[in-house]
Amino acid sequence: MKRIDYLNSLISSQTFRFDKLILNGIDNTPILKINVPGTVEQETCLFHRDVASGDDYFKSLHNEIKRKMSKREAMPIVRFADGEYAFYQNSLGCNGLYRQAESVEAIKKAMPSHIEALKILAKSGKFSALIHPGNIGQEKKGFFPFFHKSRGDDSALKFIKFLYGHNIELTNNNYIPFYIVYAYLTSAGFGNYVNGKKICIVNSGCNMDAFRQWFAQFSSYPDIVFTEIPDSYVATRWGSMKENILGKIPSDVDLCLVGAGVGSILVCVDVAKKFSIPAIDAGHVLNIMNGREDKSNGLRLYTIRKETIDKNERSS
């Protein structure tokens, strides 16, 4: 099979389909009102044929995290979107909100370690990739004639080709839609489950009071510890900082929430492997928990629940 045909084959064989991601209790209306019109395309994402609904993805992720935590098994969960897509095309376009790479040369030098981590992720974790009609781009007309609105963004298509070029395939076992992670980590289900568990926040900053308040809204009181990581260039410098950072994470931790930009793939894979736990690339959700949504340029899809909106309306 030619690399260029891989995504098309997933769709034409009905292994995957595009469908709207609908999750119980989630209301994206406030975000769609304040963002560009194209944001609505991101509500349509790639579904495996064995998954009927967004709620099924949600429940499956929750159950698998519970199982991995109870059995002390490694499970890295890593999100991929614009920054990662640019990085894997050797582009400094990866430097968006944060500094991810110093140069194209630095990206190329780090690439072998990323490819190795991607292969481990495919076998033991989850690709949480942002794949929607708006980023499968220029070849969309030939592949999917039912998608008429094309802005020429083919970043996700290139990422899928990149993976396939390194013998990495998307399956029901290793893929979940991007926004499932946001929805899960901001849910009462997650908050309730980690009550009493030991969580390590691996991030460049941590407002411990804000984190405790976040979980307290669910009457949840996890034992939260913090391991600091640089706020830039983790994607290209992880090899030099790895042992120092891993050495600061408590050995009895139950779960790690990671914020390391494009470098999260390296951090999550190594943390999950060393401590035999789930290590989740939380990104924007860490900013929410930290009370710093501004660092992510504001609200994101699949993080607002209807009860929150109703509560705000009653108080206004």
- Residues with Cβ within 8 Å of 100's Cβ and at least 6 positions away in sequence, in order, are 83, 87, 94, 232, 233, 234, 235, 236, 261, 262, 263
Alpha carbon distance 295, 72 (integer Å)? 33
Q: Please check whether residue 277 is in contact with residue 68, taking contact to mean a CB–CB distance below 8 angstroms.
A: yes
Alpha carbon distance 136, 143 (integer Å)? 10
pLDDT in tens, the chain (316 residues): 444 478 888 999 999 999 999 999 999 998 888 876 678 999 999 999 999 999 999 999 999 999 999 999 999 999 999 999 999 999 999 998 889 999 999 999 999 999 999 999 999 999 999 999 999 984 444 445 444 444 578 999 999 999 999 999 999 999 999 999 999 999 999 999 999 999 999 999 999 999 999 999 999 999 999 999 999 999 999 999 999 999 999 999 999 999 999 999 999 999 999 999 999 999 999 999 998 877 766 788 999 988 654 444 333 3
* Long-range contact set of residues 204-208: C-beta below 8 Å, sequence gap at least 24: 204/228, 204/229, 204/230, 204/231, 204/259, 205/231, 205/290, 205/292, 206/290, 207/290, 207/291, 207/292
pLDDT given at position 308: 54
Q: What is the 3-state secondary structure (H, E, C) of the chain?
A: CCHHHHHHHHHHCCCEEEEECCCCCECCHHHHHHCCHHHHHHHEEEEECCCCCHHHHHHHHHHHHHHHHHHCCCEEEEEECHHHHHHCCCCHHHCCCCCCCCCHHHHHHHHHHHHHHHHHHHHHCEEEECCCHHHCCCCHHHHCCCCCCCCCCCHHHHHHHHHHHCCCCCCCCCEEEHHHHHHHHCCHHHHHHCCCCEEEEEECCCCHHHHHHHHHCCCCCCEEEEEECCCCCHHHHHHHHHHHHHCCCCCCCCEEEECCHHHHHHHHHHHHHHHCCEEEECCHHHHHHCCCHHHHCCCCCCCCEHHHHHHHHHHC
pLDDT given at position 67: 98
Alpha carbon distance 168, 282 (integer Å)? 23
pLDDT given at position 305: 87
Residue 165's Cα: distance from chain center in Å? 22
Q: Which of 88, 79, 165 is nearest to 127 (CA)?
A: 79
- How would you list the strands of the sheet with 126-129, edge to edge? 175-177, 126-129, 75-80, 278-281, 255-258, 198-203, 223-228
List the chain domain ranges: 3-305
| pTM beyond 0.95 | no
pLDDT given at position 273: 98
